[in-house]
Amino acid sequence: MAFRIGRRFWIVTTAIILVFTVLLVGRNLLHTVRIRRQIAVLEREKALYEERIARDSALLERLRYDDYLEEYARERYRMQRRGEHVYLLE
Protein backbone atom coordinates (compact mmCIF):
# COMPACT_ATOMS: atom_id res chain seq x y z
CA MET A 1 0.00 0.00 0.00
CA ALA A 2 2.82 2.40 0.83
CA PHE A 3 4.34 1.79 -2.60
CA ARG A 4 1.16 2.97 -4.36
CA ILE A 5 0.95 6.13 -2.23
CA GLY A 6 4.57 6.94 -3.06
CA ARG A 7 3.90 6.40 -6.73
CA ARG A 8 0.81 8.66 -6.64
CA PHE A 9 2.82 11.31 -4.83
CA TRP A 10 5.42 11.40 -7.59
CA ILE A 11 2.77 11.41 -10.32
CA VAL A 12 0.90 14.30 -8.67
CA THR A 13 4.14 16.18 -8.00
CA THR A 14 5.24 15.74 -11.60
CA ALA A 15 1.82 16.88 -12.85
CA ILE A 16 1.93 19.99 -10.64
CA ILE A 17 5.44 20.85 -11.83
CA LEU A 18 4.37 20.39 -15.46
CA VAL A 19 1.30 22.61 -14.99
CA PHE A 20 3.35 25.39 -13.39
CA THR A 21 5.99 25.09 -16.09
CA VAL A 22 3.38 25.34 -18.85
CA LEU A 23 1.75 28.34 -17.16
CA LEU A 24 5.05 30.15 -16.73
CA VAL A 25 6.20 29.43 -20.29
CA GLY A 26 2.81 30.47 -21.65
CA ARG A 27 2.90 33.69 -19.68
CA ASN A 28 6.40 34.47 -20.90
CA LEU A 29 5.36 33.65 -24.45
CA LEU A 30 2.43 36.09 -24.26
CA HIS A 31 4.72 38.73 -22.81
CA THR A 32 7.20 38.16 -25.65
CA VAL A 33 4.47 38.52 -28.27
CA ARG A 34 3.29 41.81 -26.72
CA ILE A 35 6.83 43.17 -26.59
CA ARG A 36 7.45 42.25 -30.24
CA ARG A 37 4.23 44.02 -31.27
CA GLN A 38 5.31 47.13 -29.38
CA ILE A 39 8.74 46.97 -31.04
CA ALA A 40 7.09 46.76 -34.48
CA VAL A 41 4.90 49.79 -33.72
CA LEU A 42 7.89 51.76 -32.44
CA GLU A 43 9.95 50.87 -35.51
CA ARG A 44 7.16 52.13 -37.79
CA GLU A 45 7.02 55.36 -35.79
CA LYS A 46 10.81 55.66 -36.00
CA ALA A 47 10.69 55.31 -39.79
CA LEU A 48 7.94 57.94 -39.98
CA TYR A 49 9.90 60.40 -37.86
CA GLU A 50 13.10 59.77 -39.79
CA GLU A 51 11.23 60.54 -43.01
CA ARG A 52 9.84 63.74 -41.50
CA ILE A 53 13.30 64.76 -40.30
CA ALA A 54 14.75 64.19 -43.78
CA ARG A 55 11.92 66.16 -45.42
CA ASP A 56 12.26 69.05 -42.95
CA SER A 57 16.04 69.07 -43.30
CA ALA A 58 15.71 69.33 -47.07
CA LEU A 59 13.19 72.17 -46.68
CA LEU A 60 15.51 73.94 -44.24
CA GLU A 61 18.38 73.66 -46.67
CA ARG A 62 16.28 75.13 -49.48
CA LEU A 63 14.99 77.95 -47.25
CA ARG A 64 18.55 79.24 -46.82
CA TYR A 65 18.33 80.70 -50.33
CA ASP A 66 16.43 83.98 -50.57
CA ASP A 67 14.73 83.13 -53.86
CA TYR A 68 13.18 79.98 -52.50
CA LEU A 69 12.35 81.66 -49.18
CA GLU A 70 10.37 84.35 -50.98
CA GLU A 71 8.59 81.77 -53.14
CA TYR A 72 7.78 79.64 -50.09
CA ALA A 73 6.41 82.62 -48.15
CA ARG A 74 4.25 83.69 -51.07
CA GLU A 75 2.82 80.23 -51.68
CA ARG A 76 2.49 79.02 -48.13
CA TYR A 77 1.51 82.18 -46.26
CA ARG A 78 0.07 84.19 -49.18
CA MET A 79 2.44 87.07 -48.53
CA GLN A 80 2.81 89.95 -50.94
CA ARG A 81 4.76 93.15 -51.34
CA ARG A 82 3.25 96.58 -50.83
CA GLY A 83 1.32 97.75 -53.82
CA GLU A 84 1.33 94.29 -55.36
CA HIS A 85 -1.89 92.50 -56.28
CA VAL A 86 -1.99 88.75 -56.00
CA TYR A 87 -4.72 86.63 -57.52
CA LEU A 88 -5.11 83.13 -56.14
CA LEU A 89 -6.24 80.40 -58.47
CA GLU A 90 -7.15 77.12 -56.88
Total number of domains in the chain: 1
| pLDDT score for 28 | 86
Is residue 47 a part of any domain in this protein? Answer: yes
Contacts of 88 (CB under 8 A, 6+ apart): 78
Q: Tell me the average pLDDT across 43-54.
A: 97
Do the domain assignments include residue 89?
no
Q: Which string of DSSP letters, residue by residue, matches the chain? A: -HHHHHHHHHHHHHHHHHHHHHHHHHHHHHHHHHHHHHHHHHHHHHHHHHHHHHHHHHHHHHHTSHHHHHHHHHHHH----TT-------
Mean pLDDT for all residues in the chain: 86
Length of the chain: 90
pLDDT at residue 44 above 90?
yes
pLDDT in tens, 2-21: 455 678 888 888 999 999 88
90: in domain = no
The answer as to whether 43 is a domain residue is: yes
Which pLDDT score is estimated for 4?
55
**Which residue from 83, 84, 58, 51 is spatially nearest to 72, judged by alpha carbons?**
58
